[in-house]
Amino acid sequence: MKLLSFQFKGQTLFGPKVKREEAVWDVLSIAETYEEVNFPKTIIEGVAAGLDFVEKVRQLVEQAEANDDAARFKLKFTDIEWLSPIPRTPKNVICVGKNYADHVTEMGGDTPPEKVVVFTKAPTSIAADEQDLPIHADVTQNLDYEGELAIVIGKEGKNIPTQLAYDYIFGYTIANDVTARDIQTDHVQYFLGKSFDGSCPMGPYLVTKDELPDPHNLSIVTKVNDDVRQNGNTRDMIFKIDELIAEISRFVTLEPGDVILTGTPSGVGKGMNPPGFLREGDTVKISIEGIGTLSNRFV
C-alpha cells in the first residue's frame, strides 16, 4: 500500500493512493461515513497500529469502492497540498553516514567505518515532494544532495535483536539528505549543516513493508536537472537495515513514526571534480524502485 499525507481545506489528512489514478482516498471521511470510531486520526497513530491499520484501510477502501458514489471519497492530486509522509517525526530524523563504500571513497576516506556512523537532522528540516526548497545562499555556497532509502519505524523498541528488527518496520520512503558541506566542515560536526529548513524532503509515498519484501535490492537514482548523478543499489549498504535498527536501538528508544535514513551511494556533488553543488533553479529527482520519485526545486 502507498500512503501519503496531505493538507486539504486546512486539515492535515492521510490516505492510500487510488490505484491507477492520480488521486488519494480520503480515508478519514470514509471511516466517518461508516462509523469507524476508533480509526486513527493521524498517520503516526496509524503507523503505531501496524498491520491492523493497513488491513482496516483496505477494508474501508473496499467499502468506498462498492458505493455508487465512490468518487466523493477521492481527492485529486491537483487539489491537495502534499506533505512529507510523516509530517513531523517524534524526535530528530535519525541518519546514517558513510554506509556505502564507494561514497566513503569519494569523500576522501580510505576504509569503511567499523561502527555505524549516526547523526540527526532537526524535525523542522522535513519537507514534502514537489515542494520548492530554499537554496540558503546567504549562509552556504556548498549545498549538496544525497538520495537515500528511509525506514519508518512502526512500533516502540529498545535493544531490538537483529533477527527481530524487521518486525519494527512499518514501511519505507525516499529522502534527500540535503547538506551544506561548508557548514559541516566549518563546525566539525553534522547537525547544523544538515538541519536547515527544507533540508530533509521525504516522499512521495510511505510504502508498507509488504510491498518491498527485499529492501536490499532497490535501485537508487538521483538526477540534477535530468543529469544522472547517483546510480546505486541498496544491496551495497555496509550495514544492513536490521543491523542499523539493532545498533541504534541499543542507545535510543525507537518510536512509531521515527525515520531512519540509511545512507547514500556515490555521486554526490562534493565528490565530483569540480564539485557539483546545487544552484538556484536546480531540480533534484530521487527515484527508488518500488516507491516512486521524490522531486524538489531549489529556489
Q: Would you state the cell numbers that stand for residue 239, as one nine-digit string?
A: 550495514
208 and 79 in a common domain: no
pTM given for the model: 0.97
Can you tell me the distance from the alpha carbon of 85 to that of 93, in angstroms, rounded to the nearest whole number? Answer: 13
- Render pLDDT for 247-265 as a digit per residue (tens, 0 to 9): 999 999 999 999 999 999 9
Bridge-based pairing of strands 200-208 and 2-8 is antiparallel
152 and 57 in a common domain: no
Answer yes or no: is pLDDT of 76 > 90.
Answer: yes
Amino acid sitting at position 273: N
213 and 167 in a common domain: yes
Confirm if 220 and 232 have CB atoms less than 8 A apart.
Answer: yes
Q: The domain containing residue 216 runs over which residues?
A: 93-297
Task: Say if 88 falls within a structural domain.
Answer: no
- Determine the straight-line distance between the first and last CA of the chain, rounded to whole angstroms: 33
Domain boundary among 83, 106, 127: 83
Domain boundary among 49, 83, 117: 83
Q: Grade residue 67 by pLDDT with cuts at 50, 70 and 90.
A: confident
Total domain count for the chain? 2
244 and 158 in a common domain: yes
- Render pLDDT for 24-41 as a digit per residue (tens, 0 to 9): 999 999 999 999 889 999
Domain boundary among 83, 103, 135: 83
287 and 160 in a common domain: yes
Mean pLDDT (the chain) is 97
- Render pLDDT for 88-132 as a digit per residue (tens, 0 to 9): 999 999 999 999 999 999 998 889 999 999 999 999 999 999 999
Q: Over range 2-18, report the average pLDDT.
A: 97
Residue-level pLDDT at 245: 98
Beta-carbon contacts of 181 under 8 Å, excluding residues fewer than 6 positions away, are 140, 142, 143, 144, 193, 269, 270, 277
